[in-house]
Structure 1
Amino acid sequence: MTIDTKDMLGSIMSSLSRIDYIKPSDIPGIDLYMDQVTTFMDAHLAASKRHSEDKILTKTMINNYAKNNLLPPPLKKKYSKEHLLVLIFIYYFKGILSFNDIQALLNPVTEHYFQSKGQLDMEALYNEVFSLEKLQVEKIQKDIAAKYNTSLTTFSDAPPEEKDSLQFFSFICLLSFDVYIKKQLIEKLIDGLSDDGPENKKDME
């Protein structure tokens, strides 16, 4: 197996520096029907797709979110800017968290800040959180580079024709372990939100 990990890493680092997010100003100032919501999300989050044919959110997903009280119900089949902001949070969470965990995390937020009349509403909350995340990109790049350099120190005695693929495997393992630990931490923190602990409900898309 021939893998040009260095070139691949350079490409990944470059893409990280271009990471952007949907700004509230990008969202139309009018309420949207379901088809308009899925089209908007698909267009604005296209860069996060693994494959071009992947869907960001489907009608079935959105209906399930509303049916199971994760997403506040639409008004007359239309979704507001706040609905879209909640959907963006759901989209980022669903890649690593179960439906129940997302529900435990987001429900208190939507109950307090969705259609809030106070100074802090969903848009203000969204802006604050995502401005913090954008500041993390440089730190993430440095961490990935450190893990890559660490992987190059492994399997020093391996046959030359096997070393590259084994070091590539080490790099993937280091990245995966990092994700595993952080996922465990997130789940523990979410479990702490409820005195009853995690519930065994069926997950859904």
Structure 2
Amino acid sequence: MTIDTKDMLNSILQSISRIDYVKPEEIPNIELYMDQVTTFMENQLGSTRRYKEDKILTKTMINNYAKNNLLPPPVKKKYSKEHVLVMIFIYYFKNILSIKDIESLLKPLTDKYFGKNDGFNITSIYEEVCSLEKSRIDSLAKDISKLYCSSQETFQDAPAEDREALQLFSFICSLAFDVYVKKLLMEKLIDQLPDNSSRKKEK
């Protein structure tokens, strides 16, 4: 089977260039019931699914997030715009970090800034972080292109019929190493957060 890696890479880079975030103004200003929250998240983040049957968010997930202190409890079974923003953070973190690490990251923020109507709040934090991430898209695309080019230089001595597949494997390994190093760094930084540091000392 011939793998058209150049077409695949171009497709990935085009996808990266189209990455956007859910803007706070796109979230309804009214409080939402759980069904409305799951429908909103499906509509907004559905394009990030790998498979059609994948669920972005379910009632069970939401209940588990609240149970594990990742999400402040709803008020009279209704969720605010800030609840939705916290769920978006959780959605992206859960593919990389453990539930405990996500709690360590988010709980100090929700304890201090959740529900604040004036000044600095969860919405402010969300907008600042998303703005930083949007500014990195071009450099991220360049880094991936560079990794791809490097992978194409590997396995020059391999049998011709296997070279393309091995170079693809090399490209995937390079991407995996990048993710591994960043995940390791994230975990080390989370371990240094005040609550985690004090827990370590107690142990």
Does TM, normalized by the shorter one, top 0.5? yes
Distance 1:108 1:134 in 2: 25
1:168 aligned partner, one-letter code: L
Give 1:83's aligned residue: 83
Q: 1:197 to 1:186 in 2, by over 3 A?
A: farther
Deviations 1:114-164 (A, max 9, x none): 012441011111111101001111011000000000001101111111100
Structure 1 position 186 matched with structure 2 position 186: yes
Distance 1:197 1:10 in 2: 46
Distance 1:69 1:151 in 2: 42
Q: 1:180 to 1:73 in 2, by over 3 A?
A: same
Give 1:120's aligned residue: 120
2:131 aligned partner, one-letter code: S
Q: Secondary structure at the match of 2:156?
A: coil
Give 1:52's aligned residue: 52
Q: Secondary structure at the match of 2:97?
A: coil
Output the aligned Cα RMSD.
1.1
Residue 13 of structure 1 and its aligned partner are, at CA, apart by: 0.4
Residue range with higher mean Cα deviation, 46-55 or 169-178: 46-55
Structure 1 position 149 matched with structure 2 position 149: yes
Q: Secondary structure at the match of 1:153?
A: coil
Distance 1:176 1:69 in 2: 30
Aligned ranges for residues 34-45 of structure 1 at < 5 Å?
Answer: 34-45=34-45
1:54 aligned partner, one-letter code: D
Number of residue pairs aligned between Structure 1 and Structure 2 = 198
2:187 aligned partner, one-letter code: E
Instruction: Give aligned-pair identity as a percent.
Output: 62
1:8 aligned partner, one-letter code: M
Distance 2:75 2:91 in 1: 21
Deviations 1:58-103 (A, max 9, x none): 1001001112221000000000000000000000100100000000
2:63 aligned partner, one-letter code: N
1:135 aligned partner, one-letter code: S
Q: 1:43 to 1:117 in 2, by over 3 A?
A: closer
Distance 2:184 2:72 in 1: 28
2:65 aligned partner, one-letter code: Y
Unaligned 5+ runs, structure 1:
199-205
2:79 aligned partner, one-letter code: Y
Give 1:177's aligned residue: 177
Unaligned 5+ runs, structure 2:
none
2:126 aligned partner, one-letter code: Y
2:31 aligned partner, one-letter code: D
Runs of 4+ in 1 over 2 A off after TM superposition: none
More helix by share: 2
Distance 1:98 1:139 in 2: 28
Distance 1:66 1:148 in 2: 41
Query: Could you tell me the TM-score, scaled by structure 2's length?
Result: 0.95
